[in-house]
Structure 1
């Protein structure tokens, strides 16, 4: 008999009647939170006491939906991760009112140190979101970790809770879409284009920049906010992208 791997987030020992909760699109809400949150709570395990140690950090996202973050090698959480890579991230709009009425996403898994040949591109993606990061990413003890997600919990607000979504629900398949990211620099020099897309994503117009393009959508950043414009259908080619952007301007 095959062994069942225990869940990394242990289910609550209670029967929850699904009809008692308010319906919401759990996967879409979770992906929205992942792509548009600037700050995450990072919980690691202290190797001596065993207690959780929590800190706040910026969060960035690779085109396939994998979250990653910076830490200095001398930081306590870096020491903790080296001893035990099991971590948890909580993403929420921390600066936008009552946190318990807004969506928040908990991710559990193992932190993996990025290897040397991955770091330059990851740094560029991180700086695109957080321009001031140039100051600390140039430090000699800079480390970048990605989270290999093993468990997911999304709370959409009061009576909106879902634990049945999986790590794969947060992922974007990048196959066949190699040319999309090359369009970022071209689109960013078109006056007002990034701002137009941010407005379509529900944000106010302003000084926006496109930071990432993948088959499911476009990530944008301003000095103080992030936005995600979702495509109605999968986009793999530059021609498909051009068609979507043209149709969105009508």
Structure 2
């Protein structure tokens, strides 16, 4: 008797890296929520960034229908991953399930969330401080990764969140550390873009930094670098990028 093929592959490091890259390097996502009036699924599009621990962050208006849905029931799902040329189903995507938690404006993490979001989405400065807008963290509870035809994986919440001694340090010193990395050489963001993405050159800048990688931005383009080493102090973090540039 012929055995049926496994639909879900064993989750390996390559799948985890792809899932993290999709979650941490996204500029926008489709969000699915539950309509509080009908109980039916409801979807919309939102801008996405990440907190310093890689938790997805969205900025939404309470006038929006999906915001009212999240306030009534915080369960939601983000579909992350941008298709390129050709068959859109051939490109990887991540379906991330989680719960939305509002980032209160007087909380310790608000300034970091706001800074990182607006560095990724500068045009959002026009409305980010409107009284009806608020930041929400989407706390991951698990995810499904489709890496292409026949490449389905289950991703745990722990696979997506950064647990590092560097996280509280970067919470308040991220911009200074970015400046220190840029001082390692000439046009460091462009050098990193060429190192990781052959042929992609231009006016790149470091948009965000965390203990496991960084985002490089160029106009409306955003690319995520996931580093193999996981340093636990600032000297080790600087050394990771210094080695890449030599």
User: How far apart are residue 109 of structure 1 and its match?
Assistant: 1.7
Q: Is the 8 A contact 1:39 1:58 kept in 2?
A: yes
| TM-score between both structures, scaled by the size of structure 1 | 0.85
Aligned: 1:151 with 2:142: yes
Relative distance call for 1:23 and 1:48 in structure 2 (3 A) is: closer
Counterpart CA distance in 1 for 2:91 and 2:38 is 33
User: How far apart are residue 240 of structure 1 and its match?
Assistant: 1.8
Aligned: 1:231 with 2:227: yes
| Residue pairs, 1:1-250, within 5 angstroms | 17-18=5-6, 25-94=14-83, 96-116=85-105, 117=107, 118-163=109-154, 165-176=155-166, 178=169, 181=174, 182-188=176-182, 191-202=186-197, 204-250=200-246
Match of 1:11 in 2: none
Counterpart CA distance in 1 for 2:157 and 2:144 is 10
Relative distance call for 1:20 and 1:45 in structure 2 (3 A) is: closer
Structure 2: where are the runs of 5+ without partners?
A: none
Q: Is the 8 A contact 1:39 1:94 kept in 2?
A: no
User: How far apart are residue 173 of structure 1 and its match?
Assistant: 1.3
Relative distance call for 1:134 and 1:102 in structure 2 (3 A) is: same
Counterpart CA distance in 2 for 1:201 and 1:34 is 18
Counterpart CA distance in 2 for 1:146 and 1:51 is 23
Counterpart CA distance in 1 for 2:153 and 2:135 is 30
Counterpart CA distance in 2 for 1:192 and 1:57 is 32
Q: Is the 8 A contact 1:188 1:209 kept in 2?
A: no
Moved over 6 A (4+): 19-24
SS in 2 for 1:210: strand
Q: Is the 8 A contact 1:218 1:228 kept in 2?
A: yes
Counterpart CA distance in 2 for 1:105 and 1:19 is 16
User: How far apart are residue 67 of structure 1 and its match?
Assistant: 0.4
| TM-score between both structures, scaled by the size of structure 2 | 0.86
Counterpart CA distance in 1 for 2:244 and 2:101 is 38
Q: Any idea what the Cα deviations from partners look like across 1:128-164, whole Å, max 9, x if unmatched?
A: 101111112132211111111112100001010012x
Counterpart CA distance in 2 for 1:82 and 1:20 is 33
How large is the RMSD of aligned CA atoms in angstroms?
2.5
